[in-house]
Structure 1
């Protein structure tokens, strides 16, 4: 590692030693990208903020387990992905127990909040909503691989590290996700 990687590793070492400012610097460095990833996964701004906060708490608690041969950002995304999965399970149980309709869930309502500044045209919003619905229909393994590589701009190697699979598995999942998305989008155009 050189340059920025060394500076980040230095922050990790100092945070492990109990220096709060070092951990705060790591949070500031990774918060925007992590929020973007989580926001795309949960589609709810408030929910995404909660998941990011839970992820940072979990990272702080398990900082001693961080392997410095791995990118800190990739390690953090793996934690956030697990928190996203936990949240999805909790919401599914809640909907089942309370009988909540998916159309009234926070995630469904948040679909209309994809572009809060309102400058995007209605057509673009409809296309984005159609794409989001198609992505939501993908099996979790395909969805996660696609989000990490296409929307979060991770390399296939980094996505493989986050998901704990091989690069070949990521390649296959992304290929299958793209095929499935094309099928779903073709059906919605009819």
Structure 2
């Protein structure tokens, strides 16, 4: 198979079947990454679809010499960051208007999961919230390193920073999560 015959190269030329094959190959890992980033399964499904839609719209700009998964992660991280900014605005609006205001309800509500009665599930939900509350510059490197097992060099390529910066951010993220655990937040 030549470099021009890869799914990545064919997709970059607009081949829908090749792009579908790439979607199938990356869907599980990408969903898990997004799910951990945002802490909500339903939102993660929506963001996964948005990521693939954006990738398809930008596919002609993709360089097949680069890693497709790194390019896709870059798009996903940006989608997650956008989601986080919108979530912050929703929280602010609800705080200003009050939770009972109809306008606040129309903006959207981050409803907590129903109490399942199982300690492990409760702790996992709290950990998801703690992860979701990490600043974006710490969350993405941590998830890429721990959840996906990416090297610092790969993460640096995805995020456009140095491997040393990745190392520092992963350490700071772990420290913040550790503090959350010791304070009883998780």
TM-score range, shorter chain: 0.7 to 0.9
RMSD value, Cα: 2.9
Cα 1:71/1:9, change in 2 over 3 Å: farther
With structure 1 as the length reference, what TM-score do the two structures score?
0.79
CA distance in 2, matches of 1:9, 1:33: 24
User: Displacement of 1:152 after TM fit?
Assistant: 2.4
Q: Does 1:105 align with 2:109?
A: yes
Deviations 1:32-57 (A, max 9, x none): 11111111112222211111111111
Structure 2 residues without counterparts, runs of 5 or longer: 100-107
CA distance in 1, matches of 2:72, 2:161: 16
Q: Does 1:95 align with 2:91?
A: yes
Match of 1:81 in 2: 77
Cα 1:91/1:8, change in 2 over 3 Å: farther
Deviates more, 1:64-73 or 1:26-35: 64-73
CA distance in 1, matches of 2:13, 2:129: 45
Cα 1:75/1:171, change in 2 over 3 Å: same
Structure 1 residues without counterparts, runs of 5 or longer: none
Contact 2:39 2:129 in 1 (8 A): no
Cα 1:130/1:44, change in 2 over 3 Å: closer
User: Displacement of 1:73 after TM fit?
Assistant: 0.9
User: Displacement of 1:131 after TM fit?
Assistant: 2.6
Contact 2:31 2:48 in 1 (8 A): yes
Match of 1:169 in 2: 165
With structure 2 as the length reference, what TM-score do the two structures score?
0.80
Match of 1:44 in 2: 40
Q: Does 1:68 align with 2:73?
A: no
